[in-house]
């Protein structure tokens, strides 16, 4: 009898087609979505017995209230200018009037509100005008310079400069 020797044949190997990056990312995203859905269900099941705390509704950004800082100056005039700066930060800054309808103040209004007397307010305004004229020699008065500004950064900075000047002179 003739013998036939058969060589074992290996089954045809099916190779997965090479996937491009987008296809691999789509498969990975589908797998992750399934895992996240499963985790969300498990979380709901595991926390169903816990009474829910009320979740506050947030309608806008939280308002930050500036805290008052101790006065770093030794002289009364510098302290007045320092307090005027913080009043501007709290109440807001305006142009065209000493006080706006919403309560914001101009430089002169903030100084007058913080000064203990009319004389002290006058001295603070004179010193502030001196500090302003060092960089803006064409400035005629504090109110006119205040009205020429576009935002509160420069007026606040010059209140700080005037306070440092008053402290350096021991006024």
Residue 67: pLDDT band with limits 50, 70, 90: low
Q: Domain segments of the chain: what residues?
A: 78-169
pLDDT of res. 2: 65
Q: What is the mean pLDDT of residues 16-44?
A: 89
Q: At what angle do helices 153-169 and 76-91 cross, to 10 degrees?
A: 170
pLDDT of res. 49: 73
Statement: residue 111 has pLDDT above 80 = yes
Rounded percentage of the chain residues whose pLDDT exceeds 90: 62
Global pTM value: 0.59
Dihedral through CA 123, CA 125, CA 129, CA 131, nearest 10?
A: 70
């Amino acid at each position: 009898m003739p013998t036939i020797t058969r060589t074992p044949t290996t089954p045809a190997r099916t190779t997965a087609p090479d996937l491009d990056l987008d296809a691999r990312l789509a498969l990975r995203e589908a797998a992750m979505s399934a895992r996240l859905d499963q985790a969300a269900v498990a979380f709901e099941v595991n926390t169903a017995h816990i009474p829910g705390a009320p979740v506050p509704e947030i309608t806008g950004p939280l308002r930050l209230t500036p805290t008052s800082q101790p006065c770093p100056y030794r002289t009364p005039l510098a302290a007045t200018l320092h307090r005027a700066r913080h009043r501007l930060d709290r109440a807001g800054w305006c142009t065209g009037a000493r006080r706006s309808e919403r309560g914001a103040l101009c430089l002169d209004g903030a100084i007058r509100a913080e000064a203990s007397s009319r004389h002290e307010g006058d001295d603070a305004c004179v010193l502030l005008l001196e500090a302003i004229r060092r960089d803006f020699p064409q400035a005629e008065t504090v109110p006119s310079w205040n009205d020429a500004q576009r935002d509160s950064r420069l007026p606040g900075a010059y209140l700080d400069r005037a306070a440092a000047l008053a402290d350096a002179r021991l006024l």
